[in-house]
Amino acid sequence: MSFNLSRRGFIASSAALSAAPMMAGAKVADAPVAGPQNPLVKQRADAQVFRHDDGYYYLTGSVPEYDRLVLRRSRTIAGLATAPEAVLWRHEKSGPMSGFLWAPELHLIDGKWIVYFAAGPSGGGEDVFRIRTYAVVCDGPDPMTGRWTVLGELQTPWDSFNLDSTIFTHKGTRYIAWAQREPGIETNSNLYIAKLESPLKLAGKATRLTVPTLDWEIRGYKVAEAPAILHRNRRLFMTYSASATDARYCLGMLSADENSDLLDAKSWTKSPQPVFTTCKETSVFGPGHNSFTVDEQGRDVLVYHGRDYETIQGDPLLNPDRHTRVQRLYYTADGTPDFGVPVGNGPLPERFASAADAKLLLAHDGTRLIAGNPALAQTQFRQTPGRAGQQSVMLSPILMPGHYLVAGKDGSVTLEPDSKSADFALRSQFVRLTDARLSTVRFAAIAAPGKAIGVANGQIRLVRSRDAAARWRAD
């Protein structure tokens, strides 16, 4: 929808835009939507994204047809959205790998590219869920163009349902973690870890890390699957997915000291509550089966899949709309990952901390703007192109889509729903100014020339754009 701003509004906006680059050496920021947008890749579930030392990001995941292994790569995370996709291998015409192919993961082991995946036989009925873990191997250094052939089946402790193998190296030792149904335990899958002797052979006894018993792990099915490892802040964090694959799907987490014996189940502590769940406010349902990567600035990024609607017809595994999504991963004061909530569709949000006091973040409590440090999701704002020209932007909290920061004539800054009026279109427009020397940004109000969003007496208000109180550090 377009708006006809008043003549006075156009004059004000033009003045603000033309004056913006002159303010204290600041410059108008680049277009705000150049980075990744969610969903990153539609209809790619069980997503794995990682940045290899060749400078590329690689992405693989389950396709809705479950009939092939695919891979794409790009120099940027955002570029994965449109990167060409190579088909590495297709399911066989008959036998144990002729049915569904699940959850591929790409790893470089001893100089060879290997994709682990789960597969079952074709033919229908319960037999298609006779799932086991297999691997294919590439004959060359380029996984996108090399020839892929079957390497074999992973040798697990029992001939039972197993999937979601991931490989990681810690203190020079290579480990494998996976999900499996253990005979004698009435669950769909538990989590296990072992040292890895070769790509398909364990180097000793496996350790059972966790069994799904908590209420949020057993909704629909008793599931602990899809382990993913993150080593940060002198600890290892292992996320995993729990419950049925509909809107009840969620992430749990185990943690261990980096110097502990990873093969001792007592080294790992389970989170009593899920760390990442469905969020109706942002319209992301059933987030799960995650991986971790870093963005182009080296900041941690969470990769996962989720639907953007709740009600599913039929088996959720046959629903194609589990989309690959990404978002920044933050940490609490004690170094534990803070996942927040799934941030929803659109450009990735940011957080803005006052340059004068890092404890004061631009935040909101419902429709009330505050300066503080509440829950992560209350401090995340999405920046989108504005309506007063290419250089204007609008700011919206992820928990309240359709609401925007609005400049008041009395110097207030409020959070209001889009009224679709010309007045709202003017007052909700800001110019993002960056100061590379100070590593700060400012949001100059088009409706109030010379004023910008800032902190005054502990409150979010319009302040003089040149004042230190108007400067924010974006993260």
Distances (CA, A) of 418 to 65, 203, 218, 280, 343: 40, 60, 41, 20, 20
Nearest to 50 by CA among 250, 303, 331, 242: 303
Task: State the burial class of residue 439 (Cβ atoms within 10 Å of its Cβ: 0-12, 13-18, 19+).
Answer: exposed
Q: State the Cα–Cα distance between residues 14 and 206, nearest whole angstrom.
A: 67
81: CB partners within 8 A, 6+ apart: 36, 37, 40, 41
Q: Which of 46, 164, 246, 295 is catalytic?
A: 46
| Burial call 454-465: b when 16+ CB within 10 Å, e when fewer | bbeeeebbbbeb
Nearest to 181 by CA among 249, 121, 131: 131
Please give the full DSSP string across 133-150, using - where no structure is assigned.
Answer: EEEEEESSS-TTTS-EEE
CA within 13 Å, CB half, 308: 14
Q: Which of 85, 217, 225, 295 is catalytic?
A: 225
Contact 426, 406 (CB under 8 A): no
402: CB partners within 8 A, 6+ apart: 396, 417, 418
Q: Which two tokens stand for residue 414?
A: 């409020």
Task: State the burial class of residue 34 (Cβ atoms within 10 Å of its Cβ: 0-12, 13-18, 19+).
Answer: exposed
Q: Which two tokens stand for residue 52?
A: 């290899």
Is there a catalytic annotation at residue 225?
yes
Helices (H), 4-64: 7-19
Is there a catalytic annotation at residue 46?
yes
Cα angle: 42, vertex 45, 49; to 5 degrees: 90
Backbone angles phi, psi at 420, to 5 degrees: 65, 25
Backbone angles phi, psi at 424, to 5 degrees: -65, -40
Q: State the Cα–Cα distance between residues 213 and 155, nearest whole angstrom.
A: 27
Q: State the Cα–Cα distance between residues 230 and 194, nearest whole angstrom.
A: 17
Provide the annotated active-site residues.
46, 225
